[in-house]
Structure 1
Amino acid sequence: MDMTVSTRAQEDEAPDAGDFLLWILVWSELAAFGILLVAFMVAGVVQADQFAAARLHLNAPLAALNTAVLLTSGWQAARAARPGATRGEARGALIVAALFGLLFVAIKLFEYRGEIGHTGDEAYGVFFELYFLLTGFHLLHVAFGALVLLLVSWRVGRANVVLITTLWHVFDLIWIVMFPLVYLA
């Protein structure tokens, strides 16, 4: 067997999850969302009555559905990143993950339609401003991530699959923390 082919095959199969850049991205995402979530929680303590009144206007069942959609997308991303996945399997799983990510975006935009009118209403304090900042920032990450999933599915490479699926799982994790804090607290 040619040594060059063997080395390339090993590099293609070797996970790159320990890559320094990847962990900088992961921790910067967690820090940014952590700051926003802390601000949301502090404002929720300071304006407890307004936040309680504002939450009555959120669509928690739709947000729960969106949680299932995003977790299904994460499951597909995990399937794509399996070490034994063929390029075809990874490609298919990445495309399905991206489609579920775009479905998340569509559902969230539909949900926003019923909530946007409450922004600026003094009865709810800063709830909706922080709500749209927090969930909108997440929404942009999901939309961009879904497009990157599609891009990577077009040119499947082990390092790219590991990078985007790891970040995709960070977006899942952030939503899993955000959902109960925003909708159920």
Structure 2
Amino acid sequence: MAVAHEEPRLAGDGVVWLLVLAELLTFGLLFISFAVTRHLQPEVFAPGQAALSLHTGALNTLLLVAASWAAVRAVRCFESDQGRAGAHWLLAALAGAVGFLVVKSHEFASKVQAGFDWATDAFTLLYTLLTGFHFLHVVVGAIVFTVLWFKARAGAYGRANHMAPASGAVFWHMVDLLWMVLFPLVYVIR
């Protein structure tokens, strides 16, 4: 008896992939702007980047990666009809997203207390655009995880219906990928 093989396909809905493409292009332009402007104005970027905490950036990296791992685990659980475990993994993904938001909010607040002006120069403007825009994407991801978690607790997802969690995970992986470029570009490479 021959085993039927399914054709490989992208996880999630096609619409989420269009969104991911648009967001990657938008952030790509911001990344290029940051890199080019840093090259042209190193005297402006050096003190701004020196004031950023590598430890905070690294902690945020761990939180985002942990949330991505939890999102994958949730989808895998739904694919194998383990809805309760999937809901727990969604809650773990949400915890990683909220952890990032707390750490980043603390970083933003400490900058404001230190007199940081969001548009003093090219560095502060691009830092604000990049990190603020990414922050908003993490907020959206946290909302998505929350909605998915509530639905998962009600038994909405299983082997026959896991497209929404897979699409949420795809969106979150994009958020994670953007940080994997943003963190070295803004915090590490000087």
TM norm structure 1? 0.85
Q: For the structure 1 residues 120 and 134, does the alpha-carbon distance in structure 2 shift closer, same or farther, using more than 3 Å as the test? A: closer
Q: For the structure 1 residues 104 and 120, does the alpha-carbon distance in structure 2 shift closer, same or farther, using more than 3 Å as the test? A: closer
Q: For the structure 1 residues 31 and 110, does the alpha-carbon distance in structure 2 shift closer, same or farther, using more than 3 Å as the test? A: same
Q: How do residues 1-185 of structure 1 correspond to structure 2 at under 5 angstroms? A: 17=11, 19-82=13-76, 83-84=79-80, 86-116=82-112, 117-119=115-117, 125-156=121-152, 157=157, 158-185=162-189
Secondary structure of 1:118's counterpart equals: coil
Distance in structure 2 (CA, Å) of the matches to 1:112 and 1:86: 39
Residue ranges of structure 2 left out of the alignment (5+ in a row): 1-8
> Percent identity over the alignment?
35
Q: For the structure 1 residues 53 and 19, does the alpha-carbon distance in structure 2 shift closer, same or farther, using more than 3 Å as the test? A: same
Match of 2:3 in 1: none
Contact 1:79–1:85 under 8 Å retained in 2: no
Distance in structure 1 (CA, Å) of the matches to 2:96 and 2:89: 11
Q: For the structure 1 residues 162 and 115, does the alpha-carbon distance in structure 2 shift closer, same or farther, using more than 3 Å as the test? A: same
Q: For the structure 1 residues 34 and 27, does the alpha-carbon distance in structure 2 shift closer, same or farther, using more than 3 Å as the test? A: same
Deviations 1:119-151 (A, max 9, x none): 2685xx310111011101000110111111110
Distance in structure 2 (CA, Å) of the matches to 1:143 and 1:153: 15
Match of 1:4 in 2: none
Residue ranges of structure 1 left out of the alignment (5+ in a row): 1-14
Deviations 1:103-130 (A, max 9, x none): 10010010112223232685xx310111
Q: For the structure 1 residues 121 and 154, does the alpha-carbon distance in structure 2 shift closer, same or farther, using more than 3 Å as the test? A: closer
Contact 2:118–2:128 under 8 Å retained in 1: no
Distance in structure 2 (CA, Å) of the matches to 1:170 and 1:16: 14
- Supply the AA of the counterpart residue of 1:175: W
TM norm structure 2? 0.83
- Supply the AA of the counterpart residue of 2:108: Y
Distance in structure 2 (CA, Å) of the matches to 1:142 and 1:121: 22
Distance in structure 1 (CA, Å) of the matches to 2:81 and 2:54: 36
- Supply the AA of the counterpart residue of 1:168: W
Contact 1:58–1:115 under 8 Å retained in 2: no
Following superposition, the deviation at residue 20 of structure 1 comes to 2.2
Deviations 1:24-62 (A, max 9, x none): 011111111111111111111111111011111111111
Superposed CA RMSD in Å reads: 1.9
Corresponding residue pairs, total:
170
Distance in structure 2 (CA, Å) of the matches to 1:31 and 1:171: 13
